Amino acid sequence: MVRASWSTWGLLGVASLGGFLVAALAAGGQKTERSKSGSWRLAEPVTYENLTIFPVVSRDAADTSGYITLEEGLASGEVVVTEQGGEILRRTRDAAPMGLPLQGGGASVNQLVLIHRGKKPLVLLAGELVSGGKQDRIVAKDRIVAPGAAPLPLDVFCVEHGRWSSGSKFSAAKIIVHPSVRERAAVDQKQTDVWAAVRRGTTSTSSSGAAGSPRISAQALDAAVAESARTESYEKLYQSSSVGVSIEAFTEEVQRRFDRAVAKLKGQHVVGVVVAYGAEVAWGDIFASPSLFERYKAKLLRSYAVEALARPQTKEQASLDDAREFLRPLEGRESVESEPGVYRWRQVTQGHYAEIELEALRPAGLTLHWLKIHRTG
């Protein structure tokens, strides 16, 4: 994908989601036309308290069945994540287990080792949590790992400040951290900022004159650390009753409303969401297919719910026009990283906004995940 093409796609010039180029916004309408086939649009929003979620809907979908997620790979054993300097078990031809030492010296806070033994490319998203080892960590950046690749030094951030003991192997936590933490990993790339976001709840400084106190306050998080999450473990901290609110109950209500709303969108496929807190459109996660979005949906909705609970309560709501405006392509500073024949990662930052695109290069160019952030602070 060439950078020049982004400046010519019009108002909703998002990447080639589902493999189709997005053309200019139809005059006065909600939807954009894709090349030769179908269209996609923002559906009516789903609202609960200060959280508004706009489903992104498409009549088209790429085939993403040939990819495996981190959670699926860890559960099946096709993917192993371990500390540097540890070892994994592999099977010899006679099925006997044999230790395989991992190179790289001792364990490191910000780097793990990932072994991919499966037959499908592995998709990693920034903010996915793996638990265990010497500290719980989150993936630092979106990327794709080719099947049969050599052991990969995996960049990560710690979300368990205070523990450095026992264990070397990691399991899937079935959690994506909430946007304030995920942003600090994906864009700022600073460990101290990640720790601060875990402990503070939200790093957003935006507020409304009519806004009330957040349901999860910094004081409540301090109490949770003191009582049940002494190592400042993200997972324990945000599951603690000491935070003063049931995150799971809030999440279940958000999921119920979202599922009920999208069930009415017959003949369409939900491939992602745009998310607002109060009147601020703050986040967007869009995937190449409804099936790929579905594999992440529960974790993503929970992450948005945690952020909503940590932000001030308000009755203000973002509109469809606000959400459409949020999808304007950025024209700022660009960074690109790639592995030939595997993937290309592209980030554009402009003012308080950041846009990240993960493109699979084989078997054909396909944007698997598109992320946009209204940066906090």
pTM for this predicted structure: 0.84
Distances (CA, A) of 220 to 48, 195, 237: 22, 16, 10
Which residues have a Cβ under 8 Å from the Cβ of 295 and sit 6 or more positions away?
69, 71, 72
pLDDT by residue, tens only, the chain of 377 residues: 333 333 222 333 333 343 332 332 333 333 332 332 235 689 999 999 999 999 999 877 899 999 999 999 999 999 999 998 765 544 433 433 334 444 445 678 899 999 999 999 999 999 999 999 889 999 999 999 999 999 999 999 999 887 878 777 899 889 999 999 999 999 999 999 999 999 999 988 765 545 688 999 888 898 888 887 778 888 888 988 888 889 999 999 999 999 999 999 888 889 999 999 999 999 999 999 999 999 999 999 999 999 999 999 998 999 999 999 998 889 999 999 999 999 999 999 999 999 999 999 987 789 999 999 999 86
Residue 56: what residue type? Answer: V
Residues counted in the chain: 377
CB 308 within 8 A of CB 300: no
CA diameter of the chain: 70
Cis previous bond, 363, omega within 30: yes
Which of the 8 DSSP states describes residue 308?
A: H
Query: Phi-psi category of 201—alpha, beta or left, where left has phi over 0 and alpha has psi -120 to 50?
Result: left
CB 66 within 8 A of CB 48: no
Please report the pLDDT score of residue 115 as a whole number: 97
CB 292 within 8 A of CB 368: yes
Please report the pLDDT score of residue 39 as a whole number: 54
Which residues have a Cβ under 8 Å from the Cβ of 164 and sit 6 or more positions away?
134, 135
Alpha carbons 302 and 152: distance in angstroms, whole number:
29
Please report the pLDDT score of residue 85 as a whole number: 75
Please report the pLDDT score of residue 359 as a whole number: 97
Alpha carbons 97 and 310: distance in angstroms, whole number:
47
- Chain-centre distance for alpha carbon 85: 28
CB 220 within 8 A of CB 242: yes
CB 361 within 8 A of CB 343: yes
Alpha carbons 87 and 104: distance in angstroms, whole number:
11
**3-state secondary structure (DSSP) of residue 313:** strand
